[in-house]
Each structure stands twice: as structure tokens, then as C-alpha cells.
Amino acid sequence: MQTHEIRRRFLDHFVKAGHTEVASASLIFDDPNLLFVNAGMVQFKPFFLGQQTPPYDTATSVQKCVRTGDIENVGVTTRHNTFFQMAGNFSFGDYFKRGAIKHAWALLTNSVEDGGYGFDPERLWVTVYLDDDEARDIWKEEAGIPDERIQRRGMADNYWSMGVPGPCGPCSEIYYDRGPEYGVEGGPEADEDRYLEIWNLVFMQNERGDGTGKDSFEILGPLPKQNIDTGMGVERVAFLLQDVDNVYETDLVRPVITKAEELTGRAYGTDHESDVRFRVIADHARTAVMLIADGVNPGNEGRGYVLRRLLRRIVRSAKLLGADKPSMSEFVTVVRDTMSPSYPVLDTDFDRILGVAVGEETAFLRTLASGSKMFESEADEVKAAGKKVFGGSEAFVLHDTYGFPIDLTLEMAAEAGLSVDEDGFRSLMAEQRKRAKEDAQSRKHAHADLSIYKEFVDRGETEFTGFAELTTEATVLALISGGVRVPTATAGQEVEVILDRTPLYAESGGQIADIGVITGPGLRVRVRDVQKIAKKVWVHKVTVEEGQLTEGDAILAQVDAAWRSGATQGHSGTHMVHAALRQVLGPNTTQKGSLNKPGYLRFDFAWQNQLSAHQLADIEAVANEAVAANHTVNTFVTDLNKAKSMGAMALFGENYGDEVRVVEIGGPFSMELCGGTHVQSSAQIGQITILGESSVGSGARRVEAFVGLDSYRYLAKERALLAGVATALKVPSDEVPGRVEQLVERLKVAEKELEATKAAAVLASAGTFVDKAERIGGLLLVAEAAPAGVAGNDLRTLVTDIRGRFGTEPAVVVLLGDADGKVPFVVTANKAAQDLGVKAGDLVAAFGPSIGGRGGGKPEMAQGSGTDAAGIPAALSAVRARVAEMAG
């Protein structure tokens, strides 16, 4: 049975049983405790936590999930995957244990002809919580499972919670016996490789308190309602029904491995080391494609860092398997072909997904080249010192700075005839993980208590009147201070206000919140910010300036008109810039984020390369031409599918409801899904002036612009600046660029002449140092402080010239500088000195501690820098002592 069919049968089974089918949430979810959605119940958490009333009593879904806590184990075993699909059914105070067990048993054991999966009932085992006699009895009564196939397990295995205070309860897990060839007899307690868990039924009936771990928390008491949350692993069921050994052999994963075999010339299944790399490619390719589809871009922190790491592991694994050219596009294409029947966005948005993945591959291949140079330099130094072990700290730097995995470093070291201090490397890795874990733990917190807003969330959305008016009569529904309802607020107090209706825009969609006032008889309240709770309730953050505000008051809510006017210019200007970008750069230039406020806009978009001045000028021109055309701005509400069929642009990663608001400017010129406030015609935006563009991560760029009066003020300032420069240069304004270019060229020539004069002076001092040479044993030594201001390449040039003046006589030259608080140094030993056993790198080790410095190089020459100029005399003494020792 194909995986897509397994998904469909699950949903059909529960829809026929009266459940509402709910689409998978985006992998990016608004939850402070989650980097990615990692379980099927995540989007239903507000219902389980009592923060919102569910719109249905029962639901079913197949949720996309990503777990990245054990990336290093992916491929090492066949049990770890970063991306998986969790099929689930949920009951919110409807059926409980008996219903959950009956539904699961029927789907698993009903024949394929009857819509089930056709599992042999005799091969199914279950576990229950230690004292859950009720669940045990139901399994016996409803499924006929004998006592010997029902095992009791403790809290760590069969008791579920979210990991923070909130709902919890015992669970019952269903296992499939794969047979004696996969392990020992004795049920799940004996061997969880042979007895594979395929479904977990959570009986959510209690509330837990604080604590850590899976079994070290207090049970506070029963929940007001008993709920059901189940999760069936789609991939696990797939490899059982497809009669293969593991998920990597299934219909949605094996094709990626097959493609990797074609590209590398290696065969899967020949040796464990290669198999691990094949599995890494297959697993990470799926996960990366799904993350990009939901709006994640490679970056250096958070979600972006995880995606970058996955993509780079794919590149490294392919390279280690023997791929001799970029292969990311091939893997992404296979994932599209296999996964798009269940996730059509992979097909419709393929060009963007491919561009992000290939862009990261290209960047990382350049990084690999840089890291390889660093490795070669360190390896040469190790061998020059007569050692055989590549340092653990150096391996860690390669990993941390250049993204080299330890297996790549090990392979390169073996090719160079070296081993690697793996213990040292792993110790540093452990320290890093410990710091990261402690940091994550310090930031992790329980779910914010939003229960105080539940009454108003259940009541329905705050009526937003701000599209039609700036002043609205409203009633105060609640005042909240410090998370507690209060009846009144007086002058000087800062509180949150919930109104039944409001004209003030709540921050969303990149547009910051309106400011304004709330007034009444003897009352004046300043509105500083407006935020949404559960996307439904407008919460006004206010300061009472005069009078007393009381729950139930009839008030007047008013938007600051000047603020709103500027905000609408900024938001509509953002749409114009987006449309202009797509017109100039192409349709793959999709939005990654935005910020708009009065007079200013910032727009992030998918693009790999820096924009040229010509492209920026074209974008600005297209946007301003549309402004000048005075297009009418139309807004209307329609269903999501119809809006998309009309060509309306949506923000990737955003979850939209069934009904959406469309903002259309100039017909096909700009059409986007947007809940923000806008001008009535494009001419009201005013001049758009692009300030510039910059990078905000791999595959993402940012443009910033002023609009309206702010644009005029900026251009007026630039004009005044240009006039001042023209006056200073005594040329007309239109000749300023040419005149400045002439001055720059003259400056470059002067700098080159100065550098040449400086270099000549440095070399002229070489003879002085030759005269100061000391004879120690059978060689000559120059160990001196360098001339003031000589550093970098000049220092290296001087040392090389001094060495050359000694001809074939054994000679060592050591010069230490003092420049801007640093102590640069260069050490060289000619061939004759090396034959006597003198190596430049060994001398650095001798004097480096005196100046707080380190460096490296080859036996012929080494260089580096220190931080303590006061130690130069001691360093020079250490050089003389070490040379004397080397020279015997």
C-alpha cells in the first residue's frame, strides 16, 4: 500500500466516523516552546489548554512534523527521521478511551476491501499505564487481545504530557510484531525493534504541575473535560505494509537513495558507512524541501540554521560518496515528484524551493573550498612538527566555522597520513551542546496563560471598523492589569483594554499597530499599541491620562489620522515594491517578510545575489510609474482557493482561513492576500524612494524605502548635500560624479606612490639588521624589534630580504613589531639552518607565550600575532635561548 493511500485511508476512516478533517498546520507555528511543529496535536493545543473553545467536538489530521534533536543519529540507525507525518484523531470532551480504542482497532485490522489496513490482529500488542485497568479491560473487550499481549509500563513510557504544566494523562501504545528475524520474543518490553510502535493513544484526563523529565512532576488533579489525542506514524505503517525493513526503503524515500546511487556511482547496502550517507541524503532532502515550502530560508540562527545544517549535510554526504558535481537540484526534484500528490505546493512552488536549496549548495561548496585550505594549512603544520595527530581543537574549528563534519575531517586526515584527536573534538562538541542546552532551558517556559482571554476568544472576533472609519463608538468589555481582570483604571495606570469594536489596527501582516485615543466624559486614554490574541481579540495597550476607565463604559475609540495616513502609504507602497520586484527580477521573487509604518517600508524577498544599481533603479521606476498611474485600490473578501486561482499572492508560511481579504492595485499589477489598511488610489502613496538593499541571510535580500513626505524630505536632504559638494568642488551639480571620480583616482595613485616609498624605506633597513646578526653555534641569528609601523606584508618582505642577504650560510631571522596594540611577528629559517634542526614553527612555540601570541606555518617561515608588547624583550631572549639549544 502506497504512503499516499495510507494517509487517505486514515482520514476517510475518521471522517466517516463523524470527525472534521483539518489540514496540516505549517511546520512554522506560533508557539514559544517550538522551533517546528513536532507532533500532530500542536495546532490543537489551545483547545487542550482551555484557551479556546474548539469549533468541532472531534477532528482528524495528518500533520507534517520535524524533530531535529538527534540529527547526528539520522542514518546511523534506521529509526531516526527528521521529517515524518503524524496521523491523528482528536476528541475534545466527546468520546474517551473506549471510542479511541475502537476507532484504532477497526482501522488497523479491517480488511483492505473494507477501508482498513488489513493488519493481522494476532501480531498486534498493546501497552497500558501501570494502573490503567480500564484501558486494559477495553482492549480485551473490544479487540479481544489476551492478557499476554497487554503489557503495563511506567510513567516514562506510558504517561504523556507537553513537558510543561498543563494537560496530561496515561496512554496506550499499539505495537506490531515483525517476527523472530527482527529480535527476541517478549513483547515491547523485551525488544522495540522487533515490536514496532505504530500508534499512541493519549487519554488526556489530568493536569500536571512543574517538574522536569518524563516522570518527575506532580499530578494536580482531573481536567474539566476528558480529551483524546492520538498519533499514528505514517512512515512506520508504510514500511510495514510495503514489507520492507525500514522507512528508507519505502516508496517516498527510496527514490532519493536511488538518485544518489546514480549520481555517485556507489551502491546502497554495501557498507554501513556509505549507507549512513545515503540515508542522510534521503532524510534531509525531504525535510529541507518541506521546510522551504513552509517559508524557512537558510540562515545562521533558529529555523534558518537548522535548514542550513540539513542542506549542508546533504552536500557533504554526496561529496563523501563520490559526487563530483552539484546534485541538490536532482534530490529536490525527486522529493517533489514523490511528495507532491499529498502536498501540491511542492509542485506549484517548485521553482522557489529549488532556488533556495541550490543557492545554499552553491554557497556551501565555496565554503568547503575555504575550509579545505584551512585543513591543508593545519595538516602541513602538524606534519612539519613531526607529529601524526590532527588536533581536536582544529577539527572543532573546522566543524564550527566551516561546517565540516568530523567524518569529512577524518577522511581528509587519513588521506594526509594523519589521525585525528577525536576525544578532544568530542569533548569540545559536548561543551558546546551543554551550553546550547542550558541556553535553551533558560529560555524555555510554560505556555503563556491566555485563559483570561478565553471568554472573549469564544465570543468571536473583535469587530474591526477601521477599514471604513477612524472613530468608532464602542463598549469596554474588560480591563486587564498584570494578567488579572480589574474593574477600573485611573490616571497614570497602564492596562490592557478589550472593546467590542474598534477602528484601531492591531499589528499584523508587517504593518505595525495604530496609535490613538479612547475618550469619554472626563476621560482620555492614550492607545500605545494594539495586539491580537488568537487572531481574534484586539487587545489595546493603553495609558490612562485623565479620568477613570471602567468596565462597561461606552467610549469613543479614535485613530491618530496622521499616523494612519502614513501607515497606509507605507503598506500600499510595500505592495507596489513587491510587484515591481517581480516585474524586474521575475516571478520567483517572493515575499519573505515585511515591515511598514508611516513613511517607511522594508521588504524581504527570495533572491540569491546582490542587486545592481541598475536593477534598483528599474524597480524604483516601475513602482513610481504605478503610483503615477493612480490605480484604484480595490479590496474584497473571497474564499482562499478562489483568491489563489485569481493569482493573489500569499505569504509563505502563513496560515490562512477559508475566507481571505484580497487587495488589488491596478488589476494584474498587484494582487495580494492582505488584512492591512491601504490608500484608496495609488497616487496617494506619493513618491517611493529606495534607500538600498542588503542581505538578510542565504537566499534572501532586503530593500528599504521611504514613501510620501518622508521620501520628499529624504530627497531634499540629498539635494542639499549634493549642492554642498558641488560648491566645495566648484563645479555644477551634474559634474560632481565625474569630479569625485577624478579625485578618487588621484588619491589611489598617491597611495600607491606612498606604499612604494614606504616599502623602499623598509628594505633599506635590511642592511642594518644584517649588521646586527649574532653568531650562535654554527648559525647567524637576527632577533630584533621591527621598525615602528612595519607590520603585515611589509614585515614579511623585510624578513625575507634579510634572510636572502645571508646567502647559503645558516641563518635565522625573527622580527617582532608593535602596531596598534598588537605584536605581529615573522620567523624564517633558511635551508642551511633547517638542516641544522632549526624550524620556524618551533621558535614560535618558544617565544609566543611571552607576548601572549600564537601562530604557525612551515619550517621555512612562520608568522602570527601577539597581544602584549611589554613581553617583546623576554620573547627575543627566549628566541636566543631556543636557537642556542637547537644549534647545540
* Three-state helix/strand/coil letters over 177-235: ECCHHHCCCCCCCCCCCCEEEEEEEEEEEEEEEEEECCCEEEEEEEEEEEEEEEEEEHH
- pLDDT at position 651 is 72
Residues 751-796 have pLDDT tens digits of 888 777 776 766 777 888 888 888 988 889 998 888 876 777 778 8
CA R_g for the chain: 34
Count other C-beta atoms under 10 Å from residue 680's C-beta: 12
Written as one letter, the residue type at 18 is G
Q: Is pLDDT above 50 for 534?
A: yes
Q: Is pLDDT above 80 for 517?
A: yes
CA 106/CA 118 separation, integer angstroms: 9
Which CB contacts under 8 angstroms, 24+ apart, belong to 218-223? 219/168, 223/167
Binding site as annotated, residues for Zn(2+): 571, 575, 674, 678
CA 815/CA 823 separation, integer angstroms: 10
Mean pLDDT of 195-201: 96
Task: Single out the residue of 508, 517, 540 nearest to residue 470, CA to CA.
Answer: 517
Binding site as annotated, residues: 571, 575, 674, 678
Confidence band for 217, pLDDT divided at 50, 70 and 90: confident
Residues 674-719 have pLDDT tens digits of 999 999 999 999 999 999 999 887 678 899 999 999 999 998 998 8
The three three-digit cell numbers of residue 139, written as one number:
482492549
Convert 809-828 into a string of H (helix), E (strand) and C (coil): CCEEEEEECCECCEEEEEEE
Provide the percentage of residues in the chain whose pLDDT is more than 90.
54
* DSSP state letter for 140: I
- 722 compared with 618, residue with greater pLDDT: 618
CB 815 within 8 A of CB 825: yes
Q: Is pLDDT above 50 for 586?
A: yes
DSSP 261-289: HHHH---TTS-HHHHHHHHHHHHHHHHHH
- pLDDT at position 440 is 46
Is residue 358 helix, strand or coil? helix
Buried b (16+ CB within 10 A) or exposed e, 64-92: bbbbbeebeebbeebebbbbbbbbbbbbb
Which residues are CB-contacts of 61 (< 8 A; sequence separation ≥ 6)?
11, 21, 22, 23, 24, 40, 43, 87, 88, 90
DSSP 300-338: SSHHHHHHHHHHHHHHHHHHHHT--S--HHHHHHHHHHH
Confidence band for 325, pLDDT divided at 50, 70 and 90: very high
Phi, psi of 340 (to 5 degrees): -65, -25
Buried b (16+ CB within 10 A) or exposed e, 705-729: bbbbebbeebeeeeeeeeeeebeee
Mean pLDDT of 430-454: 60
- pLDDT at position 198 is 96
Written as one letter, the residue type at 257 is I
Q: Which residue has the cell 541556553?
A: 439
Residues 415-436 have pLDDT tens digits of 788 999 999 888 888 887 776 5
Is residue 653 helix, strand or coil? coil
Region at 269 (left for phi over 0; alpha for psi -120 to 50; beta for the rest): left
Q: Is pLDDT above 80 for 403?
A: no
pTM of structure? 0.65
Q: H-helix or E-strand containing 874?
A: helix 872-886
- pLDDT at position 442 is 44
Written as one letter, the residue type at 422 is E
Which residues are CB-contacts of 336 (< 8 A; sequence separation ≥ 6)?
289, 346, 347, 350, 353
Q: Is pLDDT above 90 for 377?
A: no
Q: Is pLDDT above 60 for 18?
A: yes
Q: Is pLDDT above 70 for 405?
A: no
* Helix residue ranges, H only, 37-174: 45-48, 97-109, 133-138, 155-158
Mean pLDDT of 824-842: 88
- 712 to 615, 624, 686, 706, 765: CA distances (angstroms): 22, 13, 9, 8, 59
- 290 to 300, 435, 592: CA distances (angstroms): 19, 29, 16
- pLDDT at position 10 is 97
Is residue 13 helix, strand or coil? helix
Handedness of CA 72, 74, 80, 83 (dihedral sign): positive
**Residue 173: burial class (beta carbons within 10 Å; 0-12, 13-18, 19+):** buried
Phi, psi of 775 (to 5 degrees): -95, 120
Is residue 76 helix, strand or coil? coil
Quick one: how many helices (H) and strands (E) in the chain? 26, 35
Is residue 518 helix, strand or coil? strand
- Residue 87's DSSP bridge partners are 62, 232
Of the candidate ranges 66-75, 129-138, 170-179, the one whose mean pLDDT is the lowest: 66-75
CA 877/CA 174 separation, integer angstroms: 75
Residues 271-308 have pLDDT tens digits of 999 999 999 999 999 999 999 999 888 876 788 888 98
- pLDDT at position 385 is 83
CB 58 within 8 A of CB 13: no
- 442 compared with 242, residue with greater pLDDT: 242
CA 546/CA 807 separation, integer angstroms: 91
- pLDDT at position 50 is 79
Strands of the sheet containing 659-665, edge to edge, are 633-639, 659-665, 670-673
Is residue 631 helix, strand or coil? coil
CB 57 within 8 A of CB 93: yes
Task: Single out the residue of 150, 148, 138 nearest to residue 103, CA to CA.
Answer: 138
- Residue 63's DSSP bridge partners are 86
Q: Is pLDDT above 70 for 732?
A: yes
Handedness of CA 564, 567, 571, 572 (dihedral sign): positive
- pLDDT at position 888 is 67
- pLDDT at position 180 is 94
* Helix residue ranges, H only, 524-637: 561-585, 613-628
The three three-digit cell numbers of residue 814, written as one number:
625573527
Q: Is pLDDT above 80 for 657?
A: no
Cα dihedral value 136, 140, 146, 152, nearest 10: -10
Which residues are CB-contacts of 136 (< 8 A; sequence separation ≥ 6)?
128, 150, 152
- 27 to 4, 65, 237, 640: CA distances (angstroms): 19, 7, 22, 20
CB 158 within 8 A of CB 175: no
Mean pLDDT of the chain: 89
Enumerate domains of the chain plus CATH numbers.
Answer: 3-249 (3.30.930.10), 253-367 (no CATH), 388-445 (no CATH), 451-460+476-558 (2.40.30), 564-716 (3.30.980.10), 765-886 (3.10.310.40)
Is residue 610 helix, strand or coil? coil
Count how many residues are written for the chain: 888
- pLDDT at position 398 is 83
CA 841/CA 845 separation, integer angstroms: 7
CA 226/CA 169 separation, integer angstroms: 9
Is residue 558 helix, strand or coil? strand
- 113 to 4, 9, 133, 327, 568: CA distances (angstroms): 17, 11, 34, 42, 58
Question: To 5 degrees, how large is the angle CA 111–CA 116–CA 121?
Answer: 65
Q: Is pLDDT above 90 for 179?
A: yes
**Residue 839: burial class (beta carbons within 10 Å; 0-12, 13-18, 19+):** buried
Task: Single out the residue of 222, 248, 215 nearest to residue 81, CA to CA.
Answer: 248
User: Parallel, antiparallel, or unpaired: how do β-strands 58-66 and 20-21 relate?
Assistant: parallel
Mean pLDDT of 357-373: 83
Cα dihedral value 299, 304, 308, 311, nearest 10: -140
- pLDDT at position 197 is 95
